[in-house]
Amino acid sequence: MLTTGLRHYQRVLQAITCAGLTAALTGSVAAAPQTPKRPNFLVIVADDLGYSDIGAFGGEISTPNLDRLAYQGLRFTGFHTAPTCSPTRAMLMSGTDNHRAGLGSMSELMSPNQRGKPGHEGYLRTDIAALPEVLQANGYRTLMSGKWHLGLTPEQDPHARGFDKSFALLQGAGNHFGADLSVDPSKGATYRQNGVTLTSLPKDFYSSDAFAERLIGFLRDAPKSDGASKPFFALLAFSAPHYPLQALPEDIARYRGRYDKGFEALREERLNRQAELGLIDLKKPVHALETGIGSWASLSNSEKQMASRDMEIYAAMVDRLDLNVGRVLDELARTGELDNTVVVFLSDNGAEGSNFDKPRREAVRARIAASDNRLANRGKANSYVGYGPGWAQAATAPSWLHKAFETEGGTRAAAFIRFPGFYRQGEISNAFLSVADIAPTMLEAAGIPNHNGWFEGRKVQPITGKSWIGYLGGVRDRVYGPLDAVGGELLGSRVLRQGDWKLTDPGDGVWRLFNIAADPGETNDLGAAQPDRRDALAKLWDDYAKDVGVVLPDERRYP
């Protein structure tokens, strides 16, 4: 088996360093080209997408483009992010823990006792060698279109952090029709192109369409060097389906009536579909709904109408996101680059479960009050709605809770990787993986050495994520060993993962112990039965917290 694995690994290395993918896959050395050609990279990030929203992960929403990629590639059932968006994006860009990268908390939700503390700057720190900076320094074209959420000032702009070309929504959310555009980040959504603040957007602006269009334009605008294009790294970071839920009327119409049976029915439907796809084992425990709003049957007819409409709008947003992924893929196919492009898709956290009938944040309450959220107007540019904890937990099932918690529901995200040169393709992987692994994986695939804490003459934070290349090549059967301890914290919610064991605190200060292999729904707290294991993992979390500079908030805040 080891010899076979090494042979496959050699084929992977050939595929990711040479232009001839056919030769790499068939083992035909004679057909290999003389001129090395490194792979392109396309990272697609969805914003607050639920685990089972796309078809390849059990969903009913029309997502043919993502499904095709997912089925061709390697689908991950154990891929984990931070519980919210900007910390995840910091880990993606840095290859390390969100505290090391400067996003120990979201800047918008920073607790007073965290402000000014190292690791809680609220933007991507200057001592991070960002993935695009490293790739740019090693001969890659670097392109970005979409949500940034890693800093608002010019020196924190994506154009200043390694992207040759960028079209960026700076904040964590914005009106999807561009109705809240402002050159002042404190007053509305701010867009910058190549570091220049935009004063207007097209009249037909819609976020997912615009982000795909700009990226396609950047891809086409390829400077030639010595007669050959540089390889590219492209980040397509959608702000959909993050609230406010807003979509084109024709997209919403396709889902009219689809969700009238309610969130419990949808949850059951998706669980059964996940089981059919081999993503889950329904013999293992599934966590019960914790909606805080009661059952579907307990809602009034008016409440059901509103809730159904919100889910229709949400589905329309995911549908449109997929359509735009298809447009980018078509462009890569047109230029012959698709099969030389490593495509990684992920959601940045679990589904958004905030209750918009009782929003916790004053900023959200103010926007809701200023909007027209009547049934007939929901989804339009002057509406401001979310879809709530019931639909969110239909999307995160069988897991516990949703975005903002270090539970499986908050951090286990739909994700896959597709590249014809990898040995593991067309399969499902149950391995534990972290979003921090993406940067070292891409650097190894590009043949770029780990910077080991030094980049262009300056000391930077080390990469702590693990490369997947050996695993993808069939040499290794896992990425993280049974003794590797992986910690996390955000908004006071804590986690420590070691092998199949997980210690988690959803934010109330109480540790719970779960065996994730036997109990993926986190239904049976084994802490009292195994206090020694619980305490040993808690000690490992303390070590992690000291190492990365965790400052627990003195008050828990919510997105």
Nearest to 496 by CA among 409, 432, 406, 430: 406
DSSP output for 448-464: PPP-TTEETTEE-PPP-
State whether residue 473 is helix, strand or coil. Answer: coil
Phi–psi pair at 169, nearest 5 degrees: -85, 115
Q: Which DSSP state fits 230?
A: P
The dihedral built from the CA positions of residue 411, 397, 414 and 351, taken in this order, carries a sign that is negative
- Where are the alpha helices (H) located in 335-424, listed in sequence order? 362-369, 388-396, 408-411
| Count of C-beta atoms within a 10 Å radius of residue 185 | 15
Identity at 25, one-letter amino acid code: L
| Annotated catalytic residue, options 120, 149, 159, 402 | 149
In the annotation, is 8 catalytic?
Answer: no
Report CA 134 to chain centroid distance, whole Å.
21
Structure tokens at 115: 């402000």
Terminal Cα-to-Cα distance of the chain (whole angstroms): 48
- Asked if 149 is an active-site residue, the reply is yes
* Contact indicator for 130, 150 with CB cutoff of 8 Å: no
Q: Which of 80, 85, 242, 451 is catalytic?
A: 85
Give the residue from 128, 124, 127, 131 showing the smallest Cα distance to 148.
124
Q: Are 266 and 387 in contact (CB under 8 A)?
A: no
SS3 assignment, position 271 = helix
Contact indicator for 55, 63 with CB cutoff of 8 Å: yes
Instruction: Round to whole Å and give the CA distance between 392 and 270.
Output: 12
Torsion angle of C-alpha atoms 457, 460, 462, 466, degrees rounded to 10? -80
Cα 62 to Cα 57, 70, 123, distances in angstroms: 12, 14, 35
Question: Which is it for the CA torsion 218, 438, 539, 497, positive or negative?
Answer: positive
Closest CA to 183 of 164, 170, 166: 170
Task: For residue 322, give the nearest of 34, 14, 58, 69 by alpha carbon.
Answer: 69
Active-site residues, by number, are: 85, 149
